[in-house]
Amino acid sequence: MTFDPSFRAGVLAAFVSLASFLVPAAPAKAAGDDSGSTKTCAKGQVYDGKTKTCVKRTSAVSDSELTPYAYALAKAGRYAEAIDVLDTLAEPDTAQALNYRGYATRKLGRIDEGIAYYLKSVSLDPTYVKVREYLGEAYALKGETDLALAQLDRIEVLCGSRTCAEYRSLASAIEEPGSW
């Protein structure tokens, strides 16, 4: 039996809405910490988790601290600064760094470029749930609902249910593209 994609999206949205009331949120099974708890600093500085202070970006701060810091900047709407920090990484081609670069790039309106970074991230770590959420959101923004739904299906498999935060976020984005 085949369903019209708009019907499938409507049923999916209804299910997600109902499920969000019935099932408490489960922790996401994703690589890296995407919690957004990293402090942001003034432009030209980065947060050093060891000293718990803001330091000049030229300081010897590790990639493992710079990468989540770049994400924190992006989540704070400082997308160009996030990309600047990612440009300083010794190893910029990790799944997490590429995902965050894709996120900041997409938020700057360069959706296709963001998708390219997401796809590189997925190729490095196909089980990284957060990148699949963001990739699906980018597809939803472009109106490519079938590709967004494919990411949603993959997230369900990776999470083991439809209750993880990434599944719920992408389902919402598919239902109302551009509203998030």
Q: What is the pLDDT of residue 162?
A: 96
Residue where one domain finishes, among candidates 110, 143, 172: 110
Q: What is the pLDDT of residue 24?
A: 34
Task: Return the number of other C-beta atoms located less than 10 Å from residue 51's C-beta.
Answer: 10
Average pLDDT over residues 134-158: 98
Domain that holds residue 90: 30-110
Residue 116 maps to a domain: no
Same domain, 35 and 96: yes
Residue 58 maps to a domain: yes
Q: Residue 26: what are its φ and ψ, rounded to 5°?
A: -100, 150
Same domain, 150 and 105: no
28 or 115, which is more confident?
Answer: 115
Distances (CA, A) of 97 to 5, 20, 85, 92: 33, 30, 10, 6
Tell whether the model's pLDDT for residue 53 goes beyond 70: yes
Same domain, 37 and 105: yes
Tell whether the model's pLDDT for residue 154 goes beyond 80: yes
Residue 162 token pair: 């439809």
Tell me what percent of the residues of the chain surpass a pLDDT of 90. Answer: 63
Same domain, 143 and 104: no
Q: What is the pLDDT of residue 99?
A: 99
Q: What is the pLDDT of residue 33?
A: 45
* pTM value surpassing 0.85: no
Same domain, 132 and 174: yes
Residue 138 maps to a domain: yes
Residue 3 maps to a domain: no
